[in-house]
């Protein structure tokens, strides 16, 4: 019997979902310091099983700055581009905020002027572990860059990454920064996947990328920069499938875990994949889902700043020691402790089926913070929830209102261990009428791994003005390239290919990504529609140009939402003191708030004025009738 196993490693918990063809099960276990060891302890499998993985190995290495010694090779005179950056500031009016330091120190940046021997001696002297090669014109003609990289590889026998493969688009700062970031992460990702691979017994092993696609483990090290959003991407894939299944045009994905909250907007049932993102303040221009991440989770710690104001996060209690109520030695007050004090989490709930809560310890931690602030225990707990809700509301507005989309037209899909506790309050603040809490909501990102498709991307800078005849040829060329790469990686043909293009008005310094088309009029119509939504105006008389073309070849996902088993109608609802057991709720069952729904891995809070209905697939649909 073949099983499909999804494992998503988070900062606090490791989520596991297993589908055996008839039944689907989910489990949460604390994340271990050695993530590969924790994954193996959480699951076991055989040679016929499929193992799908979302990892934070790349993210952690970057956030903790525990990457490799990288040497950067570029054209002479351009060695400092990665430090100069663009003419912008992280915080325009705060002189104390600066960009993060470059991942390559000045002594390991080498300018190439044509003298290969001098370059080789200089690189060897800097003792790198990985080399990043980025010649300025390689996005247009990569031949010199590839030759130089091959010579360095032969001479030093260490990994060499080239910008024309990592980020084959124009704009030298973004291309070099992305190549350096990927090189910086390569050894740690390679070592993690090697260790995990050696410990697994499953036959097929795939890892999630930032674009929401799956790649074989063997491709992971050379695509290290593409794994930075590996974990959060799984939840967005699952939210896309859920929203499409229930016929919702716009979905706001809300994933609140133990360490962070990830939000994303999905439109027309299609998961948009952007051309890059920032992580820890650094550019990473690789295909990625447009997720916004903030340091707000169940483990986020409450504290008083120098002015005596209540703050929450971004520091987290993590898995060890965890919130004070976990009873593992934690003493600082967290959002989870605040939810226990306010009664949102029943004190007798065993999180993950194994973590027995110590409500007194959680209350004492909140009390200590309250003494510092001059507030009661209840006021401190409620204040912490108000602060963290405010952070998450801003994040949701950033992917909706700030991008020209009205959140009131969306459905909020809430998941993660803490998502259901905060979703209805956030929906009310944003004017969202419906919240969907999916089955296995506490391990939903791991479920998303089973719904993700194998995927290969290709991109090219084309720089063509409106009306040029080569538009059709470039689209077909890149589509063919993506298909060929898919066959090379997976050994079989892709199921479908999607092509997009970056378009701008001539003279603009930024582009918008739209669905590609061989008709210039269609390209213009799509671009101006997107421009109007984003910025509120168009320039109908101004010419446009296509800057980049991207193609994504998609395979078949292991599962679709239709494949998942529904819930049984042969159950009797169980309730005690207004707390309902989710496993006991049949399809069509209705609950009027206030109430709390509990399951092994999460809780759902129903406010007064909310009406909950259990849908046939087990999804909880919560409507606000207040």
Predicted confidence (pLDDT) per residue in 394-419, tens digit: 999 999 999 989 999 999 999 998 99
Q: Quick one: 84 and 140 in the same domain?
A: yes
Average pLDDT over residues 585-603: 92
List the CATH number of the domain containing 22: 3.30.420
Question: Are residue 487 and residue 549 in the same domain, yes or no?
Answer: yes
Q: Which pLDDT score, from 0 to 100, does residue 31 have?
A: 80
pLDDT, tens digit, 9 for 90 and up, residues 533-575: 889 999 988 999 999 999 999 999 999 999 999 888 889 999 9
Report if residue 448 sits inside a domain: no
Domain stop point among 387, 405, 431: 387
Q: Look at residues 556, 583, 598 and tell me which one is the last residue of a structural domain.
A: 556
The pLDDT tens digits of the residues spanning 145-173 come to 999 999 999 999 999 999 999 999 999 99
Asked if residue 304 and residue 202 are part of one domain, the reply reads no
Quick one: pLDDT at residue 555? 95
Give the pLDDT band of residue 350 (cuts 50, 70, 90).
Answer: low
Whether residue 428 is contained in a domain is answered as no
Mutual angle of helices 419-430 and 377-398, in 10-degree steps: 70
Q: How many domains does the chain have?
A: 5
CATH number at residue 78: 3.40.50
Q: What CA dihedral angle connects 220, 39, 65 and 67, to 10 degrees?
A: -40
504 vs 221, which has greater pLDDT? 504
Same-domain status, 203 and 56: yes
Asked whether the predicted pLDDT for residue 351 surpasses 70, the reply is no
How many angstroms separate the CA atoms of 610 and 435, rounded?
10
41 domain-assigned: yes
Q: What is the DSSP string of 189-228?
A: HHHHHHHHHHH---SEEEEE-TTSEEEEGGGTGGGGGGGT
Choose the weakest-confidence range: 24-33, 238-247, 249-258, 410-419.
24-33
Q: Are residues 96 and 176 in the same domain?
A: yes
Q: Are residues 114 and 156 in the same domain?
A: yes
51 lies in the same domain as 77:
no
- Can you tell me the mean pLDDT for 581-600? 94
pLDDT for 279: 81
The answer, yes or no, to whether residue 354 has pLDDT greater than 70, is no
Q: What is the pLDDT of residues 35-73, one digit of tens each?
A: 888 788 888 878 889 999 999 888 888 877 889 999 999
The whole-model pTM stands at 0.91
pLDDT tens, position by position, 442-479: 899 999 999 999 999 999 999 999 999 999 999 999 99
Whole-angstrom Cα distance, residue 141 to residue 460?
11
| Shared-domain flag, residues 522 and 575 | no
Q: How confident is the model at residue 321 (pLDDT cuts 50, 70, 90)?
A: confident
Q: Is residue 374 part of a domain?
A: yes
Measure the CA–CA gap between 411 and 253, rounded to whole angstroms. 9
Residue 243: inside a domain: no
Per-residue pLDDT at 128: 96
Q: Are residues 486 and 508 in the same domain?
A: yes
Res 519: pLDDT: 96
pLDDT of residue 241: 96
Question: Would you state the pLDDT for residue 206?
Answer: 96
**Residue 89 — φ and ψ, nearest 5°?**
-130, 145
Q: Is residue 162 part of a domain?
A: yes
Are 59 and 74 found together in one domain?
no
Tokens 């950056």: give the residue: 85
Q: Does 126 reside within a domain? A: yes
Report if residue 419 sits inside a domain: no
Shared domain check, 157 and 105: yes
Which structural domain, as residue segments, surrounds residue 543? Answer: 453-556
Q: Output the average pLDDT for the chain.
A: 92
């Amino acid at each position: 019997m073949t099983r499909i196993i999804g494992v998503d490693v988070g900062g606090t918990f490791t989520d596991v979902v297993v589908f055996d063809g008839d039944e689907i099960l989910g489990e949460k276990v604390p994340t271990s310091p050695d993530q590969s060891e924790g994954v193996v302890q959480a699951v076991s499998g055989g040679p016929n099983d499929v193992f799908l993985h979302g990892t934070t190995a790349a993210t952690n290495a970057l956030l903790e700055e525990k990457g490799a010694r990288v040497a950067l090779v570029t054209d002479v005179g351009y060695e400092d581009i990665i430090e100069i950056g663009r003419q912008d500031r992280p915080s325009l009016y705060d002189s104390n905020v600066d960009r993060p330091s470059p991942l390559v120190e000045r002594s390991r940046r080498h300018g190439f002027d044509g003298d290969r021997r001098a370059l080789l001696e200089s690189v060897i002297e800097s003792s790198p572990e990985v080399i990043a090669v980025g010649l300025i014109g390689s996005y247009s003609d990569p031949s010199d860059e590839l030759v130089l990289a091959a010579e360095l590889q032969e001479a030093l026998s260490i990994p060499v990454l080239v910008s024309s493969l990592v980020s084959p688009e124009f704009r030298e700062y973004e291309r070099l920064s992305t190549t350096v970031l990927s090189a910086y992460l390569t050894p740690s990702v390679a070592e993690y996947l090697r260790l995990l691979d050696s410990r697994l017994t499953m036959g097929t092993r795939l890892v999630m990328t930032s674009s929401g696609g799956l790649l074989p483990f063997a491709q992971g090290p050379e695509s290290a920069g593409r794994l930075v959003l590996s974990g959060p991407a799984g939840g967005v894939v699952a939210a896309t499938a859920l929203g499409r299944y229930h016929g919702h045009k716009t979905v706001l994905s809300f994933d609140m875990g133990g360490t962070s909250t990830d939000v994303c907007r999905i439109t027309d049932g299609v998961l948009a994949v952007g051309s890059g993102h920032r992580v820890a303040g650094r550019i990473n221009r690789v295909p990625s889902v447009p997720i916004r991440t903030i340091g707000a989770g169940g483990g986020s710690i409450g504290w008083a700043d120098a002015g005596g104001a209540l703050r929450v996060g971004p520091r987290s209690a993590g898995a060890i020691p965890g919130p004070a109520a976990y009873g593992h030695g934690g003493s600082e007050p967290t959002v989870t402790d605040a939810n226990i004090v306010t009664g949102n989490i029943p004190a007798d709930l065993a999180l993950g089926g194994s973590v027995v809560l110590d409500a007194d310890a959680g209350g004492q931690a909140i009390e200590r913070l309250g003494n510092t602030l001059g507030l009661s225990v209840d006021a401190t707990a409620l204040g912490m929830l108000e602060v963290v809700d405010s952070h998450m509301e801003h994040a949701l507005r950033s992917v909706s209102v700030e991008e020209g989309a009205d959140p009131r037209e969306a459905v909020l899909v809430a998941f993660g261990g803490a998502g259901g506790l905060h979703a209805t309050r956030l929906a009310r603040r944003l004017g969202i009428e419906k919240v969907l809490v999916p089955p296995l909501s506490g391990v939903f990102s791991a479920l998303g791994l089973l719904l993700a498709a194998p995927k290969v991307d290709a991109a090219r800078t084309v720089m063509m003005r409106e009306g040029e005849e080569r538009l059709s040829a470039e689209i077909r060329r890149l589509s063919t390239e993506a298909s060929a790469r898919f066959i090379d990686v997976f050994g079989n043909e892709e199921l479908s290919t999607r092509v997009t293009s970056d378009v701008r008005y001539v003279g603009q310094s930024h582009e918008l990504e739209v669905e590609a088309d061989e008709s210039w009029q269609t390209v213009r119509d799509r671009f101006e529609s997107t421009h109007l939504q984003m910025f509120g105006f168009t320039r109908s008389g101004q010419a446009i140009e296509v800057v980049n073309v991207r193609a994504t070849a998609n395979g078949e996902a292991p599962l679709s939402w239709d494949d998942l088993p529904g819930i049984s109608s042969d159950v009797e609802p169980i309730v005690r003191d207004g707390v309902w057991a989710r496993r006991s709720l049949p399809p069509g069952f209705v609950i009027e708030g206030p109430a709390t729904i509990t399951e092994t891995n999460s809780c759902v809070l129903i406010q007064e004025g909310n009406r909950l209905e259990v849908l046939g697939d087990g999804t909880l649909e919560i409507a606000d009738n207040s």
